[in-house]
Amino acid sequence: MKKNIRRIAPALLVLVALATLSFMAKDGITLRLRPEQGKTYTLTSKANMMTMMEVQGQTMNMSQNMETRQSFSVKKVSSAQSFIETQIEAIKMTISQMGMKLEYDSEHPEKTSPMLAGQTKEIENSLNKPITATYDALGKLVGNDLDPEMSQLSNVIVELPEQELTVGSKWNSTKSQTVSNVEINVNMEYTVTAISKKSVDVSFIGNVESTEVTGTYNGTASINPQTGIMMNSTTKSNISMTINEQGMSLPITMVGTTTVNVKDCVTPSFAQQLPKNEPQEQVQGLGNTALEQTIIRWDVQSRPQGADLFWRVVSKTPDVISTNNKYLMTTPYEATKALDIRGLTHQNSSNVRIILRCEKDGYMPQEKEFDVRMVLDQEEISAFFKLVKEE
């Protein structure tokens, strides 16, 4: 069983990368990529897949569920280009085959199945490493450090048509990339099904062109007409390939469904929960306001443990003063306590960040950033640092 998983791992990486692609991108609308500078978004991708393999004349079925969380921030926007920084924050995966269940959770590595130990290094190396991408106004990638096997940003920003669109309009695009040394072209055709002030809804079909891989796609998506960003999509895929390993031919077919959702880090549901009697109340550090008394759960882990943990406040509003690093304790750190950030209000909380910093002798320091509005909404700060040894 372990041998089979190792043997097909490169092929599965190709299939997973393909199966999770969601190439998205009043009468008449012209779509352009116009994200708001300074905005940060969270992208969540969920893929449910079934893989069928022919091994020595026998069919083996394997189900896979994969969840990916990725953030992207709009650093700079001009009339011609958008500069975006993105990082994969977490990946969770479950594989079931022949009554055996294997699990991987980047945020809880202690739960990783022993049989997957050593098999997830490529995934772990891609986590929490900011990379940059530059797009033109039509959503065409013109400069990037993206890893197409891991990054989901191509599911959110897609090439848009130059012409004006109405219901029934169609446009085509071709995406070329290399996944695990396999050259792949994906041809997509989009059809506009509805247009409103809030979204441009499309249906799409697609096919894969490659000497080693074949496949088809179909699904639906919604694009924000103001920003040109795809906010949600559902894709059904059917991908096939054959690999040759140690004199054996292994036909592999993967069918599945992938959903992608994008959320602005300023959570609307939190704004709806503003206390009526405290619209502009500021935190005075005295424990006498509803905002300050919000209880936050802290759960910060690291590998290895025993690292020093610090936190600081970074503010873009004059009402809140940025702070220097303050020592919390060594990891693992678990606590339940209220925030105490002077000058913080519900209205300005989206302009305030909490930075966690993890340090340990012999290892490179790491930092993670949290939007205070989301922290208050979720009532939790949860993080895992996988420290890398200094060379």
In terms of domains, do 235 and 87 share one?
A: yes
Does residue 249 have a pLDDT over 70? Answer: yes
Whether residue 391 is contained in a domain is answered as: no
Rounded Cα distance between 340 and 297, Å, is: 14
In terms of domains, do 133 and 215 share one?
A: yes
The residue ranking higher by pLDDT, 281 or 190, is 190
Could you report the per-residue pLDDT of 266-281, keeping only the tens digit for each? 544 333 434 444 444 4
Mean pLDDT calculated for residue range 86-103? 86
Mean pLDDT of the chain: 80
The residue ranking higher by pLDDT, 1 or 75, is 75
Domain count across the chain:
2
Whether residue 123 is contained in a domain is answered as: yes
Q: Residue 299 is part of which domain span?
A: 268-386
Of 199-203, 222-226, 291-295, 385-389, the range with the lowest mean pLDDT is 291-295
Does residue 236 have a pLDDT over 60? Answer: yes
Could you report the per-residue pLDDT of 27-85, keeping only the tens digit for each? 689 999 999 888 889 899 999 999 888 777 777 788 999 999 998 989 888 888 999 98
pLDDT of residue 291: 59
Could you report the per-residue pLDDT of 168-179, keeping only the tens digit for each? 999 998 887 766
In terms of domains, do 151 and 291 share one?
A: no
Does residue 5 have a pLDDT over 70? Answer: no
Mean pLDDT calculated for residue range 130-153? 77
Whether residue 280 is contained in a domain is answered as: yes
pLDDT of residue 375: 85
- Final residue of a domain: which of 223, 248, 264? 264
Could you report the per-residue pLDDT of 206-222, keeping only the tens digit for each? 998 887 888 999 999 99
Does residue 189 have a pLDDT over 50? Answer: yes
In terms of domains, do 251 and 215 share one?
A: yes
The residue ranking higher by pLDDT, 77 or 149, is 77
* Range picked from 12-16, 27-31, 79-83, 378-382 for highest mean pLDDT: 79-83
In terms of domains, do 112 and 137 share one?
A: yes
Whether residue 86 is contained in a domain is answered as: yes
pLDDT of residue 274: 40
